[in-house]
Amino acid sequence: MNVPLLLFQLFVFLFSIIIHEVSHGLVALRLGDTTAKDAGRLTLNPWPHLELFGSFILPFMLFFASGGALVFGWAKPVPYNPNNLKNPKVGAGLIAAAGPISNLSIAFLFGLIVRFGMPLLGVVGNETTVILFHLIILVNILLAVFNLVPIPPLDGSKILFAFLPRRAEGARIFLERYGLILLLFFIFYGFRLIQPIIFGIYRLFAGAAVL
């Protein structure tokens, strides 16, 4: 087990989560809600975002127990007040979508660097740099795709609820009531369903199969 490489992956994971959460707050601010700004959450300083169990203990336990195959955790959700939004239902969906979009943007940017920037700079032969950049791409794609799964409290559920008609209110109530159970079941038994999507986007952005 390459411990420095595993620690780097965890570092990337934590800061990608922070960017994910800050993006929620920035879109909320754009839509007229200053709750996140007033709470001091529109910052890349990690301390206002991280929590002991979800950001450190759980990710480290899962990561080392699985040899790097599984990592899961969270930061403190960035707060927003739906009453400050012109259209709370649609606004909640837009705020939720901002997180995964931020992670996909990071992955896309580093994909451009790997595919075009590094050859131009003549560092394509630096194996360590290439591996680290590929890890940044993969971790951010994983975060984006996983968070788009429509199970509460993931962002995908809020995006789904933004489009659900009133007659489907029962489905929303069911998902919110049993979301944690469904999410745990998905992590252990359904995660393989999104792996082809993760690896497909990875190949598209990085121009290579997973290292």
**Does the pLDDT of residue 58 top 60, yes or no?**
yes
What pLDDT does residue 144 have? 95
Q: Is 74 a residue whose pLDDT tops 90?
A: no
Query: 């203990």: which residue's tokens?
Result: 57
> Residue 49 — very low, low, confident or very high, per pLDDT cuts 50/70/90?
confident
Q: Which domain holds residue 41?
A: 3-206
For the chain, give the number of residues: 211
Q: Are 24 and 17 in contact (CB under 8 A)?
A: no
pLDDT at 67: 61
Report the number of distinct structural domains present in the chain: 1
Q: What is the pLDDT of residue 60?
A: 74
Residue 75: pLDDT over 70: yes
Q: Decide which of 207 and 141 is more confident.
A: 141
Residue 37 lies in a domain: yes
Q: Is the pLDDT of residue 119 over 70?
A: no
pLDDT over 70 (residue 211): no
Q: Active-site residue numbers?
A: 21
Instruction: For residue 49, tell me if it sits in a domain.
Output: yes
Q: Quick one: tokens of 76?
A: 């403190």
Q: Which of 111, 102, 112, 107 is nearest to 44 (CA)?
A: 102
Residue 211 lies in a domain: no
Q: Is the pLDDT of residue 90 over 90?
A: yes
- The mean pLDDT value for 150-162 works out to 94
Q: Are 39 and 45 in contact (CB under 8 A)?
A: no
**Is 66 inside any structural domain?**
yes
**More confident position, 61 or 174:** 174
Per-residue confidence band for 124, with pLDDT thresholds at 50, 70 and 90 = low
Q: Is residue 9 domain-resident?
A: yes
Q: Which residues contact 205 (CB under 8 A, 6 or more apart)?
A: 107, 108, 110, 111, 137, 141
Domain assignment present for 122? yes
Which residues lie below 8 Å from residue 135, measured CB to CB, with a gap of 6+? 5, 8, 9, 12, 211
Closest CA to 89 of 32, 165, 142, 21: 165
Return the top range by mean pLDDT from 37-41, 61-65, 129-133: 37-41
Reported as type and span, the H/E element at residue 3 is helix 3-30
**Across the chain, what does the average pLDDT equal?**
87
Residue 12 lies in a domain: yes
Predicted confidence at residue 86, as pLDDT, reads 92
Q: In the prediction, which pLDDT does 68 show? A: 61
Task: Tell me which of 131 and 25 has the higher pLDDT.
Answer: 25
Q: What does residue 112 show for φ and ψ, rounded to 5 degrees?
A: -65, -40
pTM to 2 decimal places: 0.89
pLDDT of residue 54: 75
Amino acid identity for residue 154 in this structure: L
Query: Is the per-residue pLDDT at 155 higher than 70?
Result: yes
Angle between helices 88-112 and 195-206 (to 10 degrees): 50
